[in-house]
């Protein structure tokens, strides 16, 4: 795969000086076209052999283009804060908004290649990571992100020459690290691993571009032209209103009229006396669990979804009564802000993931993509259909990183919802909870019901399953939420 990059490509100084001015002008023009249209975000991945000119090329791009609209992120070893969250968390935080260009130096590929080349992980684990990267990049591309991936390559002989030249110059000697020498000593193995990684992850939506790093003028022009072509083509598509045609296989409807929701017996018995007794006991167990040493290395992610007025807020309050206020954070999810709309839809949820020993509570969540966005037509059928797999992948990454994910759907009958709506209208301190949208959503319940059933069917996994809560009786619903939460938390901590 690297043969063409080992040919020793050269570009004369005269040719470079002729090409550079026009290339810089064209790059600036397309950059400002992107900034004005805000039609997409561009993410440039910089990877490759040490000494192949990656850093120099990034500096040239900053010189050729307006650096105010280029976000450069150089990733090294993860910090304590980053290690306490899923692996991709720090890269999600670095994604540029629509209209800007992000350069990710030392991105998700660097650690995986290094770990395998130096024997820290087995090939099976590497291939598992590569599959995760492919799914991640496919999701970014489907959300409109332009991905351009560069691998800067040098032959072993050229790398040796490059490192010697850097070490010989007192002004550049500092740039040669012990890690660079280690990679050189393991060059053949590192190259073999890199070739396997590039072959597995060079896809139709995000192919790798191999850059010969032996000549600085040649590599600068190759990177500049590749970037220009990618940005210009995508800007043209945006200007013309072009969108990739996407289709999705239809979901089969139920043969009879029974489903997960209408089969529930929503009015479960529990009186106030028993409720108070169980509430105190369960809150005590919850408090002990989250204060235990075992929880210090874990985190808890709670998801509350449900019909309007189903009692999500009341259930959340009974959970938080057992927690230290410094230990949890509640995120109520509404329509995305302008900043959030400029990013892939999962971005705003990745930002709010808890550290170890902490609790994140989502009052509505990422499931809006397959509920309100599906029903209201805010996204295409293909978008919400692919979201099931993307959400499962997201939650699987949470669990793999040590999070305990517990999800609740609170369901009430039509009659009980109407009663609660009217009660809110009559009580001044609850009137703010009732909006015109709540009344409108009542009329759309026949559309929401199959969406909820599909959501539960397709995202109730072995690591993050749904708990359906019969919520006509608030006492019963709160106790079931706490009982389920405590049981799952204690079981996870025992493991």
Domains with residue ranges and CATH for the chain: 3-239 (3.40.50.300), 272-494 (3.40.50.300)
pLDDT at 185: 75
pLDDT beyond 90 at 122: yes
Q: Which two tokens stand for residue 446?
A: 């026949």
pLDDT beyond 70 at 5: no
Most confident of 28-32, 257-261, 435-439: 28-32
Residue-wise pLDDT tens digits, 267-304? 999 999 999 999 999 999 999 999 999 999 999 999 99
Q: Which two tokens stand for residue 127?
A: 């291939």
pLDDT beyond 70 at 170: yes
Q: Taking the CB of residue 441, how many other CB atoms lie within 10 A of it?
A: 18
Give the whole-angstrom CA distance, residue 64 versus residue 16: 14
pLDDT beyond 70 at 400: yes
Share of the chain above pLDDT 90, in %: 79
Lowest mean pLDDT: which of 131-145, 247-261, 397-411, 462-476? 247-261
Predicted TM-score of the model (pTM)? 0.91
Q: What average pLDDT does the segment 117-128 reach?
A: 95
pLDDT beyond 90 at 410: yes
Q: What average pLDDT does the segment 248-255 reach?
A: 72
Q: What average pLDDT does the segment 113-130 reach?
A: 95
pLDDT at 140: 97
pLDDT at 428: 63
pLDDT beyond 90 at 166: no
- Contacts with 491 (C-beta within 8 Å, 6 or more apart), sequence order: none
Lowest mean pLDDT: which of 67-81, 116-130, 166-180, 248-262? 166-180
Give all strands (DSSP E) within 60-159, no chain letters: 70-74, 101-105, 146-153
pLDDT beyond 80 at 169: no
Give the whole-angstrom CA distance, residue 88 versus residue 96: 15
Give 85's pLDDT tier (boundaries 50, 70, 90). very high
Q: Taking the CB of residue 60, how many other CB atoms lie within 10 A of it?
A: 19
Burial class (CB in 10 A: 0-12, 13-18, 19+), 406: buried
Give the whole-angstrom CA distance, residue 346 versus residue 350: 6
Q: What average pLDDT does the segment 103-128 reach?
A: 95
Q: What average pLDDT does the segment 199-221 reach?
A: 95
Q: What average pLDDT does the segment 441-453 reach?
A: 90
Contact 266, 480 (CB under 8 A): no
Give all strands (DSSP E) within 310-448, no chain letters: 328-332, 359-363, 403-411
Give all strands (DSSP E) within 100-171, no chain letters: 101-105, 146-153
Strand 42-48 with 146-153, pairing: parallel
pLDDT beyond 70 at 7: no
Give 461's pLDDT tier (boundaries 50, 70, 90). very high
Q: What average pLDDT does the segment 95-115 reach?
A: 96
Q: What average pLDDT does the segment 117-134 reach?
A: 96
Q: What average pLDDT does the segment 43-52 reach?
A: 92
Give 435's pLDDT tier (boundaries 50, 70, 90). confident
Please give the C-alpha separations between residue 114 and each of 105, 194, 397, 438, in angstroms, as whole numbers: 14, 9, 21, 53
pLDDT at 167: 72
- Binning the chain into helix, strand and coil, the percentages to the nearest 5 are 55, 15, 30
Q: What average pLDDT does the segment 124-130 reach?
A: 97
Lowest mean pLDDT: which of 2-6, 33-37, 328-332? 2-6
Describe the strand order of the beta sheet including 146-153 as a list of residue ranges: 70-74, 101-105, 42-48, 146-153, 208-212
> What's phi and psi for 360, nearest 5 deg?
-115, 125
Q: What average pLDDT does the segment 400-412 reach?
A: 97
The more confidently predicted of residues 119 and 6 is 119
For the chain, the average pLDDT equals 92
- Contacts with 15 (C-beta within 8 Å, 6 or more apart), sequence order: 217
Lowest mean pLDDT: which of 240-254, 317-331, 390-404, 446-460? 240-254
Strand 42-48 with 101-105, pairing: parallel
Give 178's pLDDT tier (boundaries 50, 70, 90). low
């Amino acid at each position: 795969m690297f043969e063409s990059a080992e040919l020793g490509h050269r570009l004369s100084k005269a040719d470079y000086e002729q090409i550079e001015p026009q290339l810089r002008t064209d790059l600036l023009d397309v950059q400002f076209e992107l900034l004005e249209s805000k039609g997409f975000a561009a993410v440039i991945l910089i990877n490759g052999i040490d000494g192949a000119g990656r850093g120099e090329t990034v500096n040239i791009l900053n010189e050729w283009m307006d650096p105010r609209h280029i976000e450069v992120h150089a990733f090294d070893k993860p910090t304590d804060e980053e290690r306490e969250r899923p692996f991709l968390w720090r890269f999600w935080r670095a994604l540029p908004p629509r209209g800007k260009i992000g350069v990710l130096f030392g991105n998700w590929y660097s650690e995986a290649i290094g770990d395998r080349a130096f024997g820290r992980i087995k090939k099976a684990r590497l291939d598992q990571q590569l599959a995760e990267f492919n799914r991640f990049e496919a999701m970014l591309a489907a959300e409109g992100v332009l991905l351009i991936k560069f691998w800067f390559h040098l032959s072993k002989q050229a790398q040796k020459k490059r490192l010697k030249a850097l070490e010989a110059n007192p002004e550049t000697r500092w740039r040669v690290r012990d890690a660079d020498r280690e990679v050189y000593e393991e060059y053949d193995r590192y190259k073999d691993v890199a070739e396997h990684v590039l072959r597995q992850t060079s896809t139709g939506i995000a192919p790798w571009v191999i850059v010969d790093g032996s000549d600085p003028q040649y590599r600068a022009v190759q990177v500049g032209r590749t970037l220009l072509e990618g940005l210009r083509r995508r800007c043209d598509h945006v200007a013309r209103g072009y969108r990739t045609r996407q289709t999705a296989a239809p979901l089969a409807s139920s043969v009879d009229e029974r489903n997960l929701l209408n089969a529930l017996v929503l009015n479960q018995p529990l009186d106030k006396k028993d409720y108070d007794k169980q509430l105190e006991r369960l809150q005590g167990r919850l408090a002990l669990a989250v204060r235990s040493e075992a929880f210090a290395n874990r985190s808890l992610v709670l998801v509350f979804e449900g019909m309007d007025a189903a009692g999500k807020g009341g259930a959340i309050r009974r959970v938080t009564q057992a927690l230290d206020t410094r230990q949890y954070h509640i995120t109520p999810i509404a329509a995305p802000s302008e900043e959030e709309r400029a990013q892939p839809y999962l971005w705003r949820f990745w930002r709010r993931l808890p550290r170890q020993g902490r609790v994140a509570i989502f009052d509505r969540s990422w499931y809006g993509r397959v509920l309100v966005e599906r029903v209201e037509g805010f996204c295409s059928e293909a978008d919400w259909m692919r979201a099931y797999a993307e959400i499962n992948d997201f939650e699987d990454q949470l669990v793999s990183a040590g999070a305990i994910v517990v999800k609740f759907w609170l369901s009430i009958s039509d009659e009980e919802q109407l009663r609660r709506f009217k009660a809110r209208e009559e009580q001044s301190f609850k009137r703010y909870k009732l909006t015109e949208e709540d009344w409108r959503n009542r009329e759309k319940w026949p559309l929401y019901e199959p969406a909820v059933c599909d959501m539960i069917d397709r995202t109730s996994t072995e690591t993050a399953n749904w708990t359906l809560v019969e919520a006509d009786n608030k006492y019963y619903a709160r106790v079931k939420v706490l009982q389920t939460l405590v049981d799952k938390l204690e079981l996870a901590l025992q493991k």
